[in-house]
């Protein structure tokens, strides 16, 4: 047995056994692995770790528009207090929750429906799959402008159609209306995102064992029972990952609200990410914007933890098997 073969086998030894080798030895044995990931790690440190550190640092300073960042004043946790005690923050938080929950829920459900429909073979299935992918591949900026015109309160196609079929009489005001604007934007977001859920779930459906479904059918299970008791449990893993990714994506969804309404009317479509942008880049209130961003970062970290857990579920078991 050559030494390289020996090393390869050593790496395949279960974790519990490897613990017997000391830490330094293990690091030394994996030195080439560390070397290979070093460039990627370095880039991540520069483009991710440093900005995160800088944002956290900035969140403890007051940064008036008349002062350069070099002259910022340390104010401790003041910026966090400002954010958390602001009535606008809580209004925006509530809007962010509505935006995230409804966008995620409907994207997932519509995506699941589309995935189930497209899982069965029928003529034109490939074409339909391609068509349903269009919203996902279209640029969010372009889509936002198109939807803005579709919704247009004076000349929008949606309003014209509703008038034509007799469901409305006169201009249909969806996005220039403080009550309906957020929901109108959620519709656009769901349209844009459901394809993503569809692709993920279609992949998940491929992993549901055909033998289980047949066995259930032989045992007399109805279509609903087969779906509920066989398909859904098998989709649990991919569903968790999909939902987590949708939640993260929606929390950070900037383009649609910013382009379509700019957060208005009267802040009714303002969500965390657009609010942070407004504070930092339009009002140059970098300190408060940074504190706000740190709060968002913490939430993202929690979601990230669950995402990684969902992705690696069973890895340890497999490693120890």
Partner 1 sequence: MSNMDGRALRSEASSCRKIMGVSVALVTVASLMSTTVYGQTVDLSQWSPEYVKSIAGTKTFDTAADCGAVVPNDYAGNVSYWYTGPFEADPIISHEQDKAFWDAFHTAYPNIKTDVQSITYNELLDKFRTALLGNSAPMVIRLQILGGVEFAAKGYLNPITPEDYGFTAADFWPGALKSVTYDNTLYGLPTNNETMAFIWNAKVFADAGLDPEKAPATWDDVVAYSKQIKDKLGISGYGLVAKQNAGNTPFRFMPQLWAYGGGALDETAPNPTYAKVEINNEGSRAAVQAAYQMYAVDKSVPISALTNTQAENQAPFIAGQLGMMIAHPSEYAKMLDLASKATGSDKEVADAVVANMRYGLLPTGPDGKRAVVFGGSNIHVVKPEFVDGGAVDEQAVKALICMWDSPEWSTKLNWAGSNPGNINGFLTDAMKERLDTIKFLDVTTSMLPSGIPFPVLPESPEIMNIIVPDMLQNALTGNMTVDQATDDAAQKIESVIAGGGAGI
- Which spans of this chain sit near partner 1 (rule: CB under 8 A)? 64-71, 82-83, 86, 88-89, 148, 152-155, 171, 173, 175-176, 178, 258, 260-267, 275, 278-279, 282-285, 288, 292
Nearer to partner 1 among residue 35 and residue 266 (C-beta): 266
Nearer to partner 1 among residue 56 and residue 117 (C-beta): 56
Nearer to partner 1 among residue 104 and residue 285 (C-beta): 285
**At closest approach, how far in Å is the CB of 282 from partner 1?**
6
> For the chain, how long is the longest CA-to-CA vector?
84
Query: How far is CA 153 from each of CA 67, 160, 172, 181, 197, rounded to the nearest angstrom?
Result: 42, 10, 6, 11, 31
**At closest approach, how far in Å is the CB of 74 from partner 1?**
16
Q: For the stretch 203-213, what's the b/e string if a residue is b when 16 or more beta carbons lie within 10 angstroms of its beta carbon?
A: ebbeebeeeeb
- Round to whole Å and give the CA distance between 281 and 172: 33
**At closest approach, how far in Å is the CB of 55 from partner 1?**
15
**At closest approach, how far in Å is the CB of 99 from partner 1?**
17
Query: How far is CA 182 from each of CA 28, 190, 246, 278, rounded to the nearest angstrom?
Result: 55, 12, 18, 18
Alpha-carbon torsion angle 58, 62, 65, 67, nearest 10: -90
**At closest approach, how far in Å is the CB of 129 from partner 1?**
34
Question: What stretches of the chain adopt beta strand conformation (E)?
Answer: 61-62, 73-74
Name the DSSP class of 303.
H
**At closest approach, how far in Å is the CB of 304 from partner 1?**
25
Nearer to partner 1 among residue 10 and residue 53 (C-beta): 53
- Round to whole Å and give the CA distance between 314 and 258: 40
**At closest approach, how far in Å is the CB of 242 from partner 1?**
32
Helices (H) and strands (E) in the chain, counts: 19, 2
Nearer to partner 1 among residue 100 and residue 173 (C-beta): 173
- Round to whole Å and give the CA distance between 71 and 62: 9
Nearer to partner 1 among residue 83 and residue 110 (C-beta): 83
Nearer to partner 1 among residue 283 and residue 309 (C-beta): 283
| H/E element, 186 | helix 181-206
């Amino acid at each position: 047995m050559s030494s390289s073969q020996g090393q390869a086998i050593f790496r395949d030894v279960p974790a519990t056994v490897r613990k017997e080798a000391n830490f330094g030895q293990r690091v030394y044995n994996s030195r080439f692995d560390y070397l290979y990931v070093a460039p990627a790690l370095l880039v991540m440190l520069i483009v991710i770790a440093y900005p995160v550190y800088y944002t956290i640092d900035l969140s403890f300073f007051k940064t008036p528009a008349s002062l350069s960042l070099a002259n910022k004043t340390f104010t401790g946790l003041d910026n966090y207090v400002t954010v958390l005690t602001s009535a606008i923050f809580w209004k925006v938080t509530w809007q962010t929750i509505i935006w995230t929950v409804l966008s995620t829920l409907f994207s997932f459900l519509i995506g699941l429906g589309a995935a189930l429909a497209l899982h069965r073979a029928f003529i034109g299935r490939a074409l339909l799959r391609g068509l349903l992918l269009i919203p996902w591949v279209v640029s969010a900026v372009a889509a936002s402008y198109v939807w803005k015109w579709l919704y247009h309160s004076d000349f929008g196609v949606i309003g014209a159609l509703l008038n034509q079929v007799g469901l409305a009489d006169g201009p249909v005001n969806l996005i220039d209306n403080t009550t309906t604007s957020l929901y109108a934007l959620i519709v656009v977001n769901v349209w844009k995102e459901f394809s993503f859920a569809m692709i993920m779930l279609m992949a998940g459906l491929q992993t549901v064992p055909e033998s289980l479904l047949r066995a259930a059918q032989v045992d007399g299970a109805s279509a609903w029972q087969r779906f509920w008791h066989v398909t859904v449990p098998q989709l649990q893993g991919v569903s968790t990952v999909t939902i987590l990714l949708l939640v993260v994506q929606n929390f950070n969804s900037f383009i649609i609200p910013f382009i379509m309404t700019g957060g208005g009317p009267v802040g009714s479509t303002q969500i965390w990410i657009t609010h942070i942008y407004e504070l930092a880049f339009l009002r140059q209130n970098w300190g408060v914007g940074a504190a706000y961003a740190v709060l968002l970062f913490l939430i993202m970290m929690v979601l990230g933890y669950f995402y990684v857990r969902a992705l690696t579920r069973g890895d340890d078991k497999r490693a120890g098997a």
